[in-house]
Amino acid sequence: MPELPEVETIKNALERCLAGRTFAGVRIIDTRPVQRLSPEQFCNGLVGRRIIGLSRRGKYLIIGLSDGSNLIIHLRMTGALLWNPAEEEPFTRLEFFFDDGSRLVYTDVRRFGTMYLVTDPTEIVGRLGIEPLNGRFTAKALAGILKSRTIPIKSALLNQEHIAGIGNMYADEALFKAKIHPLRPAKSLTPAETRALHGAIREVLKKGIRNHGASIRNYRSPDGKTGTAHEEFAVAHRDGQPCPACGTPVARIVVGQRGSYFCQRCQHYRK
């Protein structure tokens, strides 16, 4: 958390607020998120720069600046970006101030989030795999990613160097929709199963964006509101609750050190 739908939601919201704004100041309360640069270098590199655009790559938010540099933010597990919060936010780590008097507050309970200020974004995001909502992500492309991999299909989906942006929740949802057990070896999927999984990945991610992300724990959009995607999850974080398709209690197992939720009946393990 946040995963692709959450970061896309944040990007879309901040685009309306930040485009054309100029950094007037930066307050660093906790230096831990700032990577590669000293706090002074980080602040000096931002102040006076105008924001010319926002984009997303995988789970990274990229803010393009007028001097050609880019502020790249990865929120990790508990990071949040809040636009003009009315009250003081606990766990505030950084504050960004703009020329119109507005501010963007970065909060992070567990302090895992990272920020980079670089000229070339590929220094940070260059190793990421294909974007699952990109037109180049076809069933054939997915088959090419999976064809020689013996690792569980769930682990393959979470590898950001294969496919960028899919996290734990949406992998579980996609596998459920495609009726594939999370422990199936990636290369064991049939062409029909690969096509089903390809469609399921795109569908659950798009649905997550429409619902403004999932607020399982700490995720909030920049206006402070929670997303609703989790309210429509079929299996993710629904351990013991009935499967919406067959009524079997949703099971939880660990795959690659990640909690994984699935229906033992709908996603029966077939070799």
Instruction: Tell me the domain boundaries of the chain.
Output: 4-125, 139-262
Whether the pLDDT of residue 215 is over 90: the answer is: no
Q: What is the CATH number of domain 4-125?
A: 3.20.190.10
Q: How far apart are CA 214 and CA 222, in angstroms?
A: 14
Which residues belong to the active site?
Answer: 2-3, 59, 258
The answer to whether 4-125 and 139-262 have equal CATH topology is no
Whether the pLDDT of residue 217 is over 90: the answer is: no
Closest-CA residue to 177 (of 208, 200, 154, 194):
200
pLDDT tens sequence across 58-75: 999 999 999 999 999 999
Instruction: Identify whether 2 is preceded by a cis peptide bond (ω within 30 of 0).
Output: yes
Whether the pLDDT of residue 254 is over 70: the answer is: yes
Average pLDDT of span 144-159: 97
Q: What is the CATH number of domain 139-262?
A: 1.10.8.50
Whether the pLDDT of residue 230 is over 80: the answer is: yes
Average pLDDT of span 8-33: 97
Q: What is the pLDDT of residue 270?
A: 73
Average pLDDT of span 172-193: 98
H/E segment holding residue 118: strand 114-118
User: pLDDT above 70 covers what percent of the chain?
Assistant: 99
Q: What is the pLDDT of residue 271?
A: 64
Q: What spatial distance separates the first Cα and last Cα of the chain, rounded to whole Å?
A: 31
